[in-house]
Amino acid sequence: MGTKQLLFYYYAFPHYRREILAQLASGDGVSVSIVSGSSSRGGVRALSPEDLPTLRQARTLSLGPFTWDLRVQSRASARHVDVAVLGPAVSSVTTWAILLRRRLTGRPTLLWGRLGYVGEVSLRRTLIRLMCNLATGLLVYGERDRNSAIELGIEGKRITIVGNAVGTNATVWDDQSSQEAFVRVQESAIAAERDGRLVLVHSGRLTESKRPEVLLEAVGLLRDKFPLVHLHVIGDGPCLPDLQRHENARYVTFHGPIYDSGRLQELIQSAAMVVSPFNMGLLALDALRAGVPVLLPDHPSSGPEVDALTIGVNAREFSAGDAASLADQATQWVRQARDISESDFVDARSQALKASEPARVAEALIQACVHATEAAVGGA
């Protein structure tokens, strides 16, 4: 049968995809091409060939919100490409063209990424449904995404869960690392109760839809019980100027974007808890890597990564977008942290990190592609 030829394309791979893509490029028994455009949106830094030498970057033409990446469609539609894996970017004309061309020629095409959330009603969700119907199969991060796809009318047999990951966890998932994290959790709770020092950290884009002002409102409420409360905010976005003018901004350090994983982990580890105001995704994995508990908003748009958390052991839920609920759950965490079993904490963290290793995700992606080629041959 020969070596399987796989092509992975997205108009702009985000920087946190680097480890998974690097693992794909070094996969055994397959030849993997990784292609992207040269644009990015949403303020998320995109990978370049400097970050990932195996990445081939095409020139991008833009017309308003729509993009066309030159010569990518012909490359992805070539007969020698056994499977094309695409990100579900509805504003990428290139993605639509590849889906249509490969559908007409009977070549397997898989969509890899988030498809929205259960109950979502939006134009993007409608367009995603069309994309899913053009694709051969879907590669999703977890059960939440699988349920989201099923709500769109996609058969379960066309959906494969491949997991998600950020950086390698090999150096942080051992029992000693988790035991050290457990000690930090206990020390943070003691410092909060004894000295009133409570440190929170948030990382993400500061956009109106994510309600970042809730974090600063919660800090104001927490000062009654924890006078030395402090919030670290990592990231930027259109809401940053208003947040910097907020009456509680004096209790906040705004760091801007941090792309160095070591520095990011160090800052997260300095906190008692990681928090997002409205929904959460990959930040859950960053918190697990750092060994820091999470204040988790209960919104259905949170990513499947939050399923790796264990409520009552390394996470507490609050009502999304509700500053009073956030402050209350932070207080409850401080009071109950000493009751958490060290073995429960260590086991929950270690198992979650082993399941979210980039090498595992890459292997799952490759296996799904191989299965798609075999199914195509069998159905020919």
At 213 the pLDDT is 98
Q: Report the C-alpha gap between 346 and 219 in whole angstroms.
A: 29
Domain count, the chain: 2
170 located within any domain: no
At 256 the pLDDT is 95
Task: Say if residue 90 is in the same domain as residue 187.
Answer: no
Question: How far from 352 is each of 169, 172, 265, 366, 372, CA to CA, in Å?
Answer: 10, 11, 17, 21, 28
Would you call 261 helix, strand, or coil by DSSP? Answer: helix
Average pLDDT of 297-311?
93
pLDDT higher than threshold 90 for residue 84: yes
Would you call 7 helix, strand, or coil by DSSP? Answer: strand
pLDDT digits (tens, 9 = 90+) for 119-153: 999 999 999 999 999 999 999 999 999 999 999 99
At 76 the pLDDT is 97
pLDDT digits (tens, 9 = 90+) for 116-125: 999 999 999 9
Among residues 106, 103, 148, the alpha carbon closest in space to that of 128 is found at 148
The alpha carbon of residue 141 and the mean position of all alpha carbons in its chain are separated, in whole angstroms, by 9
CB neighbour class for 377 (10 Å; exposed up to 12, middle 13-18, buried from 19): exposed
Residue 156: Cβ within 10 Å count: 9
Confidence grade of residue 365 (pLDDT, cut at 50, 70, 90)? very high
Confidence grade of residue 105 (pLDDT, cut at 50, 70, 90)? very high
At 98 the pLDDT is 98
At 262 the pLDDT is 87
Task: Say if residue 42 is in the same domain as residue 157.
Answer: yes
Task: Say if residue 132 is in the same domain as residue 221.
Answer: no
Confidence grade of residue 377 (pLDDT, cut at 50, 70, 90)? low
Average pLDDT of 86-104?
97
94 CB-near residues (< 8 Å, 6+ apart): 9, 11, 37, 67, 68, 69, 72, 73
Q: Which domain holds residue 345?
A: 175-355
CB 276 within 8 A of CB 112: no
Mean pLDDT of the chain: 93
Q: Report the C-alpha gap between 33 and 13 in whole angstroms.
A: 13
Task: Say if residue 296 is in the same domain as residue 156.
Answer: no
At 355 the pLDDT is 83
pLDDT higher than threshold 60 for residue 1: no
At 166 the pLDDT is 86
Task: Say if residue 350 is in the same domain as residue 275.
Answer: yes
Can you give the pTM of this predicted structure?
0.86
Q: Report the C-alpha gap between 302 and 347 in whole angstroms.
A: 23
* CATH assignment at residue 221: 3.40.50.2000
DSSP structure class, residue 366: H
The alpha carbon of residue 339 and the mean position of all alpha carbons in its chain are separated, in whole angstroms, by 30
Residues facing 62 on adjacent strands: 67
